[in-house]
Amino acid sequence: MDHEMSAEERVEVGWEKVRVDGGLRPELLEAACAEPRLRQLFPWVGMGQLHFSRCTEFRWTWDIPYIMPAAGDTYFVAGPSRNESVGPAATAQQAVAMVVDRLPPGCGPAFLGTPEELAAYELGRA
């Protein structure tokens, strides 16, 4: 991990990487970027699916639903785990809203570090 960067800077680098990689439909990227509660999380793409993490470092968190492309110009929201489904979305904006509605309590800006470091931090705050 680059300790020279803040969490906010790492998140911005993540969004830029997602944008440059071009693995997402442009309208999904635009809708996700326009939503402040998602924009503060670390984004990553796997198998054409847009994921969001509460931490900035790999292996990322898996407690937020993710968005995948579906037939036509529609989407499907699933997760947070691979065996959970939220449902279909007719538009990118609707898919983003479905994710936002299911954000974990207190889901704030991404934490600078790994999921294990985040868990230790949260345990220390409890």
Segments making up each domain of the chain, as ranges:
7-125
- Judged against a pLDDT cut of 80, whether residue 109 lies above it is answered with yes
Distances (CA, A) of 84 to 1, 65, 76, 87: 31, 9, 11, 9
User: Beta 42-46 vs 66-69: how paired, if at all?
Assistant: unpaired
pLDDT tens digits along 15-70: 999 999 989 999 999 999 999 999 999 999 998 999 999 999 998 999 999 999 99
**Entry pTM:** 0.93
